[in-house]
Chain A
Amino acid sequence: MIGKALQGRGFLRFMMILAMVFLYAPIISIVIYSFNESQLVTVWSGFSTKWYSALINDEQILRAAGISLEVAVISATGSLIVGTLAGYVLTRFTHFRGRTMFSGMVMAPLVMPEIIMGISMLLLFVGMEQLFGWPHRDIQTIVIAHITFSTAFVSVVVQSRLQGIDVSVEEAAMDLGARPVAVFFLITLPLMIPALVSGWLLAFSLSLDDLVITAFVSGPGSTTLPMVIFSKVRLGLNPEINALATVVILVVGLISGIGAFKGAFKSAAPKDTPADDTATTAPAVATAG
Chain B
Amino acid sequence: MKQVRFLGTLKPGQGRGWVISVPYLWFLVFFLVPFAVVLKISLSTAQVAIPPYAPLFTVGDDGTMNVALHFGNFQYIFSDPQYILAYLSSLHYAAGTAIITLLIGYPVAYGIATSKPNIRPMLLMLVIMPFWTSFLIRVYAWIGILKQNGLINNLLINLGIIHDPLNILNNQFSIYVGMVYAYLPFMILPLYSTLEKMDHSLLEAAGDLGAKPWRAFLSITLPLSVPGIIAGSLLVFIPAVGEYIIPTLLGGADTLTIGTVLWNEFFGNRDWPVASTVAVALVVLLVGPLMLLQHYQGKEGEKA
Contact = CB atoms under 8 A, between A and B. Distances in A.
B12 to A, nearest CB: 10
A42 B51 CA distance: 44
Nearest to B28: A105
B46 interface: no
A15 B133 contact: no
Contacts of B147: 42, 237
A28 to B, nearest CB: 9
Nearest to B135: A209
B249 A113 contact: no
Contacts of A253: 129, 132-133
A234 B248 contact: yes
Interface in A83-97: 83, 85-86, 88-89, 92-96
Interface string A94-115: 1110100011111111011111
Interface in B14-66: 15-16, 19-20, 22-24, 26-35, 37-38, 41, 51
B128 A285 contact: yes
Contacts of B239: 111-114, 289
A286 B145 contact: no
24 contacts: A5-B207, A12-B114, A15-B111, A23-B127, A24-B130, A82-B26, A89-B23, A94-B8, A102-B20, A102-B23, A111-B234, A115-B279, A117-B34, A121-B34, A212-B245, A230-B245, A233-B136, A237-B143, A252-B133, A257-B132, A260-B128, A264-B121, A282-B192, A286-B185
Contacts, number: 326
Chain A interface mostly: helix
Looking at A119, A151, A241, A260, the one whose CB has the most chain B CB atoms below 10 A away is A119
B244 A212 contact: yes
A163 interface: yes
Contact of B193 (A23, A120, A274, A279): A279
A242 B33 CA distance: 40
A15 B110 CA distance: 10
Given A124-B30, A126-B51, 13 more contacts: A16-B112, A25-B145, A26-B138, A26-B142, A27-B141, A92-B7, A105-B31, A209-B136, A233-B140, A236-B143, A275-B117, A279-B196, A282-B124
